[in-house]
Structure 1
């Protein structure tokens, strides 16, 4: 049971997302004149632990249902393969998931104590999404929505409000954009797993619509995020240099065009998945940089 195996199991590269979401929320709080370093890192820790909970529980349940025995595995879909290779026992992974969940709950309760009960609903919702994503939401056409809320909307709002600030319209707008991006992150990565997900009891948008219609939805949602950034920045609602986020449009075009290629055939769709992840992470990182840089214009 090596350190490397556990790093693969918790899917360390995926943990960049909650870190970047924390940075976006923190940057916006700084723009509004408030920043609590302790609360910033405590909330980031909660997000990281809940994300690990989702990743490990998903691996555990997809092993138990047999889904991950039938996927064509890549770094973006199909599970880690750790349990199928026997590198860890299922109960080890389950206990690790529950341990991370409990620690997240304890730290989250302390953050609520420091900030106020206004954060409690966010924490409870986030924990529900983390704990029941695989077993409930992903099986009832709610996987993408729960991911968008739990790993997009709620983290941005929470990462902003932990600094003692009331909810603002610019925070809501950025949280919606983040939610759409995370929704799309899951959506595109579901394409290659359709044949394994159906007998495994999953019901999602790709299964319901088919890959071609789902690709159209993915493309529409992708470009809607850039529309949100452009319109609300020009309206003066978002900090002016949030327009830096538009720099990733070429990556978005690549991801959108490759989403129409055949999953599990050749390398094209995989390159689209790669472009999708790059676009999602870099766009939000650029937005955070733009928010902080906008302070120089005040």
Structure 2
């Protein structure tokens, strides 16, 4: 395997697909609100968002490796780390530097937008950077893992809209709330296989604090809140917003999987992601 491919895998590219989807929330809301979009600025927003997500992935991998948690975690396609550091394929310090460099470059892009649209974009970027850096070593140990993940991507959607428009609308506020519930749920379900290893490492996410069974009910509640928010957007701002409801069958499937197989990881794995 070439070194370049190893570095690419370290960024966990299958997770990075979430970034353009999140930015698309901001773009589609801008189009709904009839706001013009500058292509250069849009490109910078997407690059900054990808850098933020890359930093999340590689720093999480680095801190998990340093804590030893990845040696105890059962790997699935969506949990247990990349396996790159555990396999000794990359220097951990260089991986950490990639994460920090990604954050720093993202903040430079935010500084550019500060001069274009104002201080709020810099505040959003700084809060996001704090969530990224303190996520693994602190936020996961005080019961804020799911909130931090959801908030981080909600800010990505909100920040994309603000960077390209210089304003915040009611529509993007509610759309960002949908992103919050969706991403918090993505993380929540992916935490189920890691409960024992995470608990030994001092983490305190919802499946540990509440138990897998009760956490599965939280998952279903977040799914419901997400779709209720979509309904609110549709009734307030136009029925095109109902299009995300086409994903309800997938939500029902994953919710049933969480309720039925919360304690059977082998059967739960197909519902992760």
Question: TM exceeds 0.5?
Answer: yes
Name 2:102's counterpart in structure 1. Answer: 100
Name 1:293's counterpart in structure 2. Answer: none
Q: Verify the 8 A CA contact 2:58 2:99 in the aligned structure 1.
A: yes
Output the TM-score relative to the length of structure 1: 0.87
SS at match of 1:259: helix
Name 1:171's counterpart in structure 2. Answer: 172
1:258 aligns with 2:257: yes
Name 2:242's counterpart in structure 1. Answer: 243
Moved more, 220-229 or 75-84: 220-229
Match for residue 62 of structure 1 among 61, 64, 82 = 64
Q: Verify the 8 A CA contact 1:29 1:165 in the aligned structure 2.
A: no
Question: Once the 2 structures are TM-superposed, how far is the Cα of residue 262 of structure 1 from its aligned partner?
Answer: 4.3
Unaligned runs of 5+ in 2: none
SS at match of 1:162: helix
Q: Verify the 8 A CA contact 1:57 1:93 in the aligned structure 2.
A: yes
Say what the alpha-carbon RMSD is for the aligned residues: 1.4
Name 2:187's counterpart in structure 1. Answer: 186
- 2:109 & 2:233 partners in 1: Cα distance? 34
Name 1:196's counterpart in structure 2. Answer: 197
Name 2:222's counterpart in structure 1. Answer: 221
Change (3 A) 1:264 1:7: farther
- 1:242 & 1:86 partners in 2: Cα distance? 47
Residues matched between the structures, number: 270
Question: Once the 2 structures are TM-superposed, how far is the Cα of residue 203 of structure 1 from its aligned partner?
Answer: 1.1
Q: Deviations over 1:84-128 (max 9, x none)?
A: 111112112111111111111111111222222231211111111
Change (3 A) 1:262 1:117: closer
Question: Once the 2 structures are TM-superposed, how far is the Cα of residue 13 of structure 1 from its aligned partner?
Answer: 1.2
Name 2:76's counterpart in structure 1. Answer: 74
Output the TM-score relative to the length of structure 2: 0.95
Q: Verify the 8 A CA contact 1:9 1:56 in the aligned structure 2.
A: yes
Unaligned runs of 5+ in 1: 278-298
Q: Deviations over 1:167-198 (max 9, x none)?
A: 11111111111101111111111110010001
